[in-house]
Amino acid sequence: MLLHAIFCLILSVLLFPNSSAISSPIRPYTSYRYSTELQNNVADLWWSVNDTTQEIIFELHMKTTGWIALGISPAGGMKGADIGLGWVDQAGQVHFQDRYAKNYTRPIVDTTTSDWFGLQGREENGWTAIQFKRLLDTCDTMDVPIKSGTNILIFAYGLEDPDMSEPQGIIYYHDHRRGSRIIPLRSYGNPSPENKFAGLDYFDFQLNNYNVPVDSTTYHCKVYKVPSNLTKRRHAIAHKTIIGEGNVDIVHHLLMYECNPTAVFDDNNLPDGLCDVIYRQLTECSANIATGWAVGGDHIVEFPEIAGYPVGGDFEIKYYMIQMHYDNPKQLSNRRDNSGIRFYLGNELRQEELGYLTVGADSTPVGIAIPPRSDRFSIDSYCTASATKAFPKSGITVTTAFPHTHLQGRSVWTKIIRNGTAVDYLFNGDAYDFNYQFENRLPKPVKLYPGDELATRCVYSTMDKSQMTTGGERTQDEMCLHMFTYYPRMKNMYGCMMIIPDGIWAQKMNISQESFDYVKLKQWLSDLQWTPQSVSQWQEFYNDASRILFSGIAGNFTIDFLPKLPTYKDLQPAECKSDARPNAAVHQHAFSTFTLIPFFIIFVMNMFARK
């Protein structure tokens, strides 16, 4: 009996790892890398991605004994969606179909190729569970590629199986039995439930009943000192973003900055106010981005088991600044907020310590100026070998990526350049959505070495704008930031940021450099008139303009002048390989976990044999 219990425990650990907020009573068929609840007590989803075979396997559970469906939508909603739809008939037979939604009508069976493959399924306790798979990119015009970055999922279910009076079956309208979810399928953070950290020490950097101004955009900055009870160095193993009750509609993002070790403040009167008003007090705290959260992202972020975020004791950072961005377009009044961030502290120090690296363009008009009515405008930046020479000889290991733009952003990527050749993406946020900004866990940690270079591109669409969009902090302004978590931590390297030099702007404005200032630049930019030809010429200007690169740490930046952005041999465009279409008859993934079980049984039996 004891051996049987141990075997069941091993099986449970192998097949059913801890999943956050899962309500299905049915055990999944195998272990998966990712899982999430799509709708409470209605729909749960598990999935894994195989980058070698470029294949994704799903398992969908829904509270019905009728048909169930999961779709990939190009822009939200049914129109143009690529849908896998299945059911289990009364004989226990699994049926699965590849369907396509031409419009907001009943999706048709794909008339090109069948690219969704049902593997197995069952009904139990009023729920239906079906496992199925497809390629990330099927090369089918009636399918939607599953790109790196955010993906739009739609799901629905019926109360009955399809009417089989026609060969392909008739599915009846799902009515309100539908939903959607935006999630990075290929880099989901898989947040742990908060109860995993119950009993651990923690501390909060949190506002106290802050009266949010009625302005449409507010940036509030507050400096915090590390808690006095942390007399010894500790490692945070996770953090939780705290959004004040009832304020999810106005809290846009939160950034935490590390103040320079040289920062000195009056601990009884720490800076606290509108960022633009107290900016002179924040010079030691305004450039070294640590962590953050933005609208739509997960509230719990757990660090890799090998590394922790150092705080307290002999750790050199003593002060931190939290920058809160409130987006209040309706200019609501009498809103009080207690948002902030909580750090959970591990009981032991971990092997490595985490740091944060940010690359991109400076969030000012000299860094970002995007013309209106452009479907695809690119802003490039570059972190050179002279900047990355600060990396340790053994390299750094990057674990997560957090791309950030505002409303006009469509994609953000960073490539690794070695010896003038792009070798891979550090992270490719090909599909970016301002309303759903995730900290993406890299499928595999990536090593960077001294001399590596990083090329970053932010792509914007301004088809809905009639005037220039410049870099800035307001929601209607733009940003181009790509933030990475890595280990081991570096003391004097927080990132690389680029601007176009004042002299280049003065030349463009046809004024002397001595008379140039930001106010004149913003006015000149807003007065420009645009045609398709001038938009194209502006892209050429951005591609060819000189740059100034700031790298290192606030207050001690290294400044380099680049006459032109470096060129490199780019990655070859990925080719769609339709001949790699999965074989529905073979499901290797399902067997991979079970093949481990005999080894555990042998191990346990040998252990008991020694008794």
Strands 319-327, 251-258: parallel, antiparallel or unpaired by DSSP? Answer: antiparallel
Taking CA atoms, 562 is separated from 521, 548, 554, in Å, by 22, 6, 20
Indicate the pLDDT class of residue 405, thresholds 50, 70 and 90. Answer: very high
- Contact status, residue 320 vs residue 223, Cβ threshold 8 Å: yes
CA distance 398 to 354: 10
Please determine whether the domains at 34-183 and 192-350 fall in the same fold group of CATH.
no
Cβ 487 vs Cβ 399: under 8 Å: yes
- The secondary structure element, H or E, covering residue 60 is strand 55-62
Query: 592 in helix, strand or coil?
Result: helix
Local structure of 520: helix, strand or coil: helix
Burial label, 168 (beta-carbon count in 10 A; 0-12, 13-18, 19+): exposed
Nearest of 180, 227, 10 to residue 83 by alpha carbon: 180
Q: Tell which residue, 464, 532, 497, 503, has the closest CA to residue 288.
A: 497
Residues 241 and 293: their CA atoms lie apart, in Å, by: 7
What is the separation, in whole angstroms, between the first and last Cα of the chain?
A: 16
Which of 7-16, 135-144, 347-356, 410-419 has the weakest average pLDDT?
7-16
pTM: 0.84
Closest by Cα among 460, 464, 367 to 406 = 460
pLDDT band, residue 157 (cuts 50/70/90): very high
Residue 597 pLDDT > 60: no
Q: Is 285 exposed, middle or buried (0-12, 13-18, 19+ CB in 10 A)?
A: buried
CB count in 10 Å sphere of residue 425: 18
354-568 CATH: 2.60.120.230
- In this prediction, residue 578 carries a pLDDT of 60
For 468-482, write each residue's pLDDT tens digit: 999 998 889 999 999
CA separation for the pair 238, 79 (Å, rounded): 39
Question: d(Cα 396, Cα 403) in Å, to the nearest integer?
Answer: 19
pLDDT one-digit tens code per residue, 338-364: 999 999 999 999 999 999 999 999 999
Phi, psi torsion values for 11, nearest 5 degrees: -60, -40
> Encoding tokens for residue 162?
């399809």
CATH number of 192-350: 2.60.120.310
Q: Are 551 and 494 in contact (CB under 8 A)?
A: no
Residue 200: per-residue pLDDT: 97
H helix or E strand, kind and range, residue 7: helix 2-15
**582 — pLDDT class (breaks 50, 70, 90):** low
Domain boundaries, the chain: 34-183, 192-350, 354-568
Domain at 34-183: CATH code? 2.60.40.1210
Integer Cα distance of 399 and 303 in angstroms: 9
Strand partners, 507: none
